[in-house]
Amino acid sequence: MTSQPFRLPQGGLVDRSRLVTFRFDGREYTGHPGDTLASALIAGGTHMVARSFKYHRPRGILGAGVEDPAALVEIGSGIHRDPNVRVTEAEIHDGLEAHAQNVWPSLTFDVGEANDLLWRFFPAGFYYKTFMGGPRGWMTWEPFIRRAAGMGRAPDGPDPDPYEQTNRHCDVLVVGAGPAGLMAALSAARSGARVILAEETAALGGRLLSRDPAATHLDDRAAPEWIGAVAAELRSREDVTVLTRTSAFGYYGENFLGLWERVGDHLPRHERSPNLPRQRLWRVRAKQVVLATGAIERPLVFHENDRPGIMLASAAVTYVHRYGVLPGRNVLVFANNDSGWGAAFDLAESGASIAAIVDVRREIDGALLSRAAALGIAIHAGCGVVGTSGRFRVTGAKVQPVEGAGGVSDIACDLVAVAGGWTPNTALFAQSRGKLRWDDDLAAYRPGLSWQKEASAGASNGVFDLSGCLAAGAEAGARAADAAGFSAVPAPVPALRAEETLQRSIHFVAEVPSHRKPEDTRAWVDLQDDVTTKDLKLALQEGMQSIEHAKRYTTTGMGTDQGKVANLNAFRLVSDKLGRPMHEIGTTTSRQPWKPVTFGALAGQHVGHHFHPRRGTPMHDWHRRHSAVFEPVGDWLRPRAFLKAGESFEQAVQREARAAREGVAVLDATTLGKIDIQGKGAREFLNRVYTSAWTKLAPGRCRYGFMLGEDGMVLDDGVTSCIADDHFHMTTTTGGAARIYQWLEDYAQTEWPDLELYLTSVTEQWAVASLSGRDSRAVVEEICDDFDADPATFPFMSFRDTTIEGVPARIFRISFTGALSYEINVPASYGLWLWEKIFEAGARFGITPYGTETMHLLRAEKGFVIVGQDTDGTVTPHDLRMDWIVSDTKGDFIGKRSLSRSDTARADRKQLVGLLTEDPGLMLEEGAHVIATENEPAPPVPMLGHVTSSYLSPNIGRSIALALVAGGGDRMGDRLWVTRPGGAPIPVRVTETDFLKLKEEGHV
């Protein structure tokens, strides 16, 4: 006995020579390569695969592809688990493990099903009404609701699979490889255009694959052979990229589209190439786009229309011809247009018996009636299905005339094939911001006005007949090539021999009329989110009359399927109930992505180390070898401290900080931003961008300066040195380097183009070692070629050019520590060499490498500020009590006018002061609030300011802190308090900020 009772003896594109074994929900199934989970499960006789979101109702397989709303499962386990996978899209392979989700304890016995008994208590807006009230409503309930309404579980750990992103330009991107898409790609390719053809499923051919190959001939070839020939030609062309298993998920501005390719998902892990990613994201910029995305059949909306075994008629036919599977042996077809009849005939000829054709229309085309009669099919015209039976699979339907007082017939069946008409798939068109047009004959929206450089062709444009699709595709491809600058060579449209029963004379009803009381009717519009017509009607009654409001109130179309089959029925219901035409109701917004895309693909290679690439200095490897603890500063990784064996981070900082004053210590300062400024206007430029005066700075001298924004607030700081009258070397903070460079270019190019100057970033050209401490002079003199570093003759804030073993070097006498300092600059390629040289020469002084944490501590001992730590964009130089840095004598500079604005000039602004705790061993917390009272008053607590920097200082011998305090300059010596969580406020004394000086003067 076969384990695939519903597999047809022949037909389908599956490879019957091979058997594939997989498991679903603990049971073993077999199928063939080419099967989806859906086709293989149906072959095994299983239709129920999931439970619905709200009521936990059994959910079956409605569609045969991306349109399916609710047949979602988990695939894989542990770190490989993928939730919410559509069974109609997932391809099977040996060893595949799928599980039902949103069920407990099992798919067929699910406790959550109790919700279904309470359905009357879960009206539209239930969550809003019940849980939004009160201060803690939603917060309290959300975790429980989420658990109960779960949509699959996330993987158990970080994703181990590789993903890839790639950028592409092309002349013509064709989305969809059905008859229209294939012809479009062929035309564009033959015209010489660079073409990308993206097909969502595993095979080219689209709807052609859902047709009986024996009854579909193109140029006298059966459809599969014709497709094969087209595919072979496309693949043979160098300028054509054919992508299968690739969804165009987003249409963004200026013909930028995202494509998501599943490279390896259809293979067992051991068969996947280790050289290929699991999935690939293509970022495509196309000159022209052809949207050949087809059309999607709609279900019909009637009482109990959600049972497993109720399937789109087109999907039923697809299972027969594409997969060689019979979805039901005894099929009731329910239609509102002719295409359902075509499906019925097709199924009948494929071995199913047709229990009945039910059609809401009274008038049926004579040819259809006679063909049905010839096949012996019972016809119920002017009738509707008004109820169904069956727990895990439909077992029968109740049929009743839609008008008059006809009785109900019970018809047994194992499949209800529903044919509610076709919706052109306009999702990408709408994403491109094109305007849709309501077409009454089509009973659907189709593309109207284009906004971007695209054209819809074939069924996505409302053309449903095969020859029309082939012709439209050929023309669209040629036009696209022409618009992209090629002389068009349209592919000749193949001669077609095929029988088609198209959507004709549709009677589009939002809800099948029945004699049932509305309050007792449960007719599903959205199968994933469990939205019924009753919910939508209630939403309208409660005033949610905009389609966007009705959507959000009921959640219709808000599931992971975005309402692909549900939306138009919902819009129609709203239109009917409000008595307003469809074009006034409009549509909800088609958003990217068209279907769920994995985070892995969206992240691509940008994970782990590649998430944010870090820069290292030429000395970086040395730091690594010497136990540096790193921190990111801007894009750089800088050593925070160098740990000795057995030493804690705090101990290392204390040791390094002592060495930087009492001995000699060295900091890798390579990362400082450096900008070379040249030109006759350079000096004037500095006058305008810095607060201080630069007119008199002589060559060989350096000056520290602040840059302000136009709002007067401190933007950046650094030392700039005069190399020649028209040549300056500027340094910026490490983190501000790129921003300040851009900002300077802004002023140079846009405000003062009359100043002749050139700015060049030279950050990477220099490696910098900053020596600090009593013995630094000796080290400098030892490594430099014949160099006198005597601070008396080589004064503070000057620089000298010299050589080190012949290598050019520039030495600055500048200091961020307050100790004797020399900053040695060499060409970056000599950075490591210099560094090692320094350690060689410094060995006898016990030279100590130090990191940024120590640097921060050292500068705080001296009361130097760090822009971005002691300032936060609301702090002026006066707030820092650094009035000396602002020149009153020169002309305008950036931010000058703002310093006298009434608010900026207030005396009670927060000002930078030192804080010393009364208990010298107690350290304040950075960010802690400063208050004026011994006890913390009741909230709101009046706050004077906050602590910006706080350290335990080995050189001062106690804790020190800097703080911004309201009117701080006038509070010297005052006793204030600093709050802390879970303890009494800490008493502190307000001091000046230069703690070294305070110590020298005996105040500490």
Residues lying near other proteins in the complex (CB under 8 A): 252-254, 256, 285, 430, 433-438, 445, 448-453, 546, 548, 583, 586-587, 589, 710-711, 738, 742, 745-746, 749-751, 753, 892, 896-898, 901-902
Structure tokens at 228: 């094969």
Q: Which of residues 254 and 519 has its CB atom nearest to other proteins in the complex?
A: 254
Q: Which of residues 285 and 810 has its CB atom nearest to other proteins in the complex?
A: 285
Shortest distance in whole angstroms from residue 759 CB to other proteins = 9
Q: Which of residues 711 and 974 has its CB atom nearest to other proteins in the complex?
A: 711
For residues 360 and 512, the answer to whether their CB atoms sit within 8 Å is yes
Shortest distance in whole angstroms from residue 596 CB to other proteins = 21
| DSSP-H helix ranges across 619-761 | 620-625, 649-662, 682-689, 737-746
**How far from 364 is each of 283, 418, 464, 511, 515, CA to CA, in Å?**
49, 17, 20, 20, 23
| Run of H or E including 569 | helix 567-578
Shortest distance in whole angstroms from residue 898 CB to other proteins = 6
Shortest distance in whole angstroms from residue 451 CB to other proteins = 5
Shortest distance in whole angstroms from residue 924 CB to other proteins = 34
Inter-helix orientation angle 852-862/649-662, to 10°: 50
* Residue 940 preceded by cis peptide, ω within 30: yes
Structure tokens at 401: 């005339």
Q: How far is the C-alpha of 454 from the C-alpha of 476, rounded, in Å?
A: 9
Shortest distance in whole angstroms from residue 739 CB to other proteins = 10
Q: Which of residues 215 and 483 has its CB atom nearest to other proteins in the complex?
A: 483
Q: Which of residues 760 and 829 has its CB atom nearest to other proteins in the complex?
A: 760
Which residues are within 8 A (CB) of 782 and not within 5 positions of it... i.e. 6 or more apart?
A: 841
Inter-helix orientation angle 547-554/533-541, to 10°: 120
Shortest distance in whole angstroms from residue 479 CB to other proteins = 11
Count the residues in the chain.
1004
Q: How far is the C-alpha of 849 from the C-alpha of 643, rounded, in Å?
A: 10
Shortest distance in whole angstroms from residue 896 CB to other proteins = 7
Could you give phi then psi for residue 181, rounded to 5 degrees?
A: -65, -40
Q: Which of residues 16 and 437 has its CB atom nearest to other proteins in the complex?
A: 437
Q: Which of residues 589 and 803 has its CB atom nearest to other proteins in the complex?
A: 589
Q: Which of residues 744 and 858 has its CB atom nearest to other proteins in the complex?
A: 744
Q: Which of residues 712 and 985 has its CB atom nearest to other proteins in the complex?
A: 712
Shortest distance in whole angstroms from residue 892 CB to other proteins = 6
Q: Which of 904, 913, 917, 925 is nearest to 964 (CA)?
A: 913
Q: What is the dihedral of CA 662, 664, 670, 672, to 10 degrees?
A: 20
Structure tokens at 473: 């595709």
Q: How far is the C-alpha of 31 from the C-alpha of 92, rounded, in Å?
A: 8
Q: How far is the C-alpha of 743 from the C-alpha of 723, rounded, in Å?
A: 22
Which residues are within 8 A (CB) of 900 and not within 5 positions of it... i.e. 6 or more apart?
A: none
Shortest distance in whole angstroms from residue 981 CB to other proteins = 36
Q: Which of residues 336 and 588 has its CB atom nearest to other proteins in the complex?
A: 588
If you ran DSSP here, which 8-state letter would residue 360 be given? Answer: S
**How far from 316 is each of 62, 253, 272, 319, CA to CA, in Å?**
9, 38, 32, 5
Question: Is residue 375 classed exposed, middle or buried when 0-12, 13-18 and 19+ CB atoms within 10 A define those classes?
Answer: middle
Q: Which of residues 209 and 744 has its CB atom nearest to other proteins in the complex?
A: 744
Q: Which of residues 254 and 520 has its CB atom nearest to other proteins in the complex?
A: 254
Q: What is the dihedral of CA 321, 326, 327, 332, to 10 degrees?
A: 100
Shortest distance in whole angstroms from residue 491 CB to other proteins = 23
Q: What is the largest CA-CA distance in the chain?
A: 115
What DSSP letter does each residue of 94-105 carry, written as one string? Answer: TT-EEEE-S-SB
Partner residues linked to 456 by β-bridges: 291
Shortest distance in whole angstroms from residue 707 CB to other proteins = 15
Q: Which of residues 478 and 824 has its CB atom nearest to other proteins in the complex?
A: 478
Shortest distance in whole angstroms from residue 83 CB to other proteins = 29
**How far from 375 is each of 269, 276, 357, 370, 401, CA to CA, in Å?**
48, 52, 12, 9, 23
Q: How far is the C-alpha of 763 from the C-alpha of 740, rounded, in Å?
A: 12
Q: Which of 8, 117, 136 is nearest to 55 (CA)?
A: 117
Q: Which of residues 441 and 746 has its CB atom nearest to other proteins in the complex?
A: 746
Shortest distance in whole angstroms from residue 376 CB to other proteins = 45
Q: Which of residues 323 and 438 has its CB atom nearest to other proteins in the complex?
A: 438
Partner residues linked to 87 by β-bridges: none
Q: Which of residues 238 and 903 has its CB atom nearest to other proteins in the complex?
A: 903
Shortest distance in whole angstroms from residue 899 CB to other proteins = 11
* Residue 105 preceded by cis peptide, ω within 30: yes
Shortest distance in whole angstroms from residue 744 CB to other proteins = 11
Q: Which of residues 669 and 759 has its CB atom nearest to other proteins in the complex?
A: 759
For residues 597 and 535, the answer to whether their CB atoms sit within 8 Å is no
| Run of H or E including 227 | helix 223-236
Q: Which of residues 589 and 648 has its CB atom nearest to other proteins in the complex?
A: 589
Q: Report the amino acid identity of residue 68.
A: D
Which residues are within 8 A (CB) of 769 and not within 5 positions of it... i.e. 6 or more apart?
A: 619, 666, 667, 668, 669, 823, 824, 834, 835, 838
Q: How far is the C-alpha of 606 from the C-alpha of 295, rounded, in Å?
A: 36
Q: How far is the C-alpha of 964 from the C-alpha of 978, rounded, in Å?
A: 12
In this structure, are strands 379-381 and 383-389 parallel, antiparallel, or unpaired?
A: unpaired
For residues 914 and 959, the answer to whether their CB atoms sit within 8 Å is no
Shortest distance in whole angstroms from residue 755 CB to other proteins = 13
Partner residues linked to 863 by β-bridges: none
Shortest distance in whole angstroms from residue 175 CB to other proteins = 18
